């Protein structure tokens, strides 16, 4: 079982939206490194839901990977924001997952708090200039993160 961190802008899709929807296709990732991480996710993995481009940015809650290795259908839809004319149904370029709501943290963990607790090596998201929207979190770091939510 692996841990991950996945970013979303709460104005677009937030932890509260996921709490309402219960499950959601994590579509629209169009970065190869992020896609490769999505591809290596397995059902039952745990992902931290990170709110980006908001004040303050930070981790809002937890989700689980509900379905793995899902083709992102938006790549085939002409006119869709995420349409990729170079991708075909025979050889899809973009894969993703379906996530399921787990819980919203009682105490939101702000980026400032993350920076105070973790080095950029321990938690990539605290690294300045990091634009990757999906990234792995090692087990030790994930456990420390979870204890932060209890205080």
Partner DNA sequence: GCCAACGTTGGC
DSSP sequence for 115-150: HHH--TTT-GGGSTT---SEEEE-HHHHHHHHHHTT
Residue with tokens 């169009």: 30
Query: Quick one: how far is CA 3 from the chain centroid?
Result: 10
Cα Rg of the chain (Å, integer)? 15
- The H or E element containing residue 63 is strand 58-71
Q: What track of x and - describes contact with DNA for positions 109 through 128 (by CB under 7 A)?
A: --xx------------x--x
Nearer to DNA, 43 or 124 (CB): 124
Residues 2-41 that bind DNA (CB under 7 A): 7, 9, 31-33
From candidates 132, 144, 146, 149, binder to DNA by CB under 7 A: 132
Residues 50-79 interacting with DNA (rule: CB under 7 A): 52-55, 57
Q: Does 131 bind DNA (CB under 7 A)?
A: yes
Interaction site with DNA (CB under 7 A): 7, 9, 31-33, 52-55, 57, 111-112, 125, 128-133
């Amino acid at each position: 079982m692996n841990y991950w961190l996945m970013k979303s802008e709460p104005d677009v899709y937030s932890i509260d939206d996921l709490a309402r929807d219960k499950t959601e296709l994590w579509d629209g990732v169009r970065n190869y490194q992020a896609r490769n991480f999505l591809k290596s996710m397995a059902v039952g993995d745990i992902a931290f839901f990170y709110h980006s481009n908001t004040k303050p940015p930070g981790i809002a809650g937890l989700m689980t990977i509900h379905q793995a290795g899902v083709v992102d259908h938006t790549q085939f839809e002409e006119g869709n924001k995420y349409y990729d004319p170079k991708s075909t149904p025979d050889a899809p370029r973009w894969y993703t997952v379906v996530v399921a709501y787990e819980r919203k943290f009682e105490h939101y963990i702000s980026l400032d708090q993350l920076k105070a607790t973790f080095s950029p090596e321990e938690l990539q998201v605290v690294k300045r200039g990091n634009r990757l929207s999906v990234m792995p979190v090692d087990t030790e770091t994930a456990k420390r993160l979870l204890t932060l939510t209890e205080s």
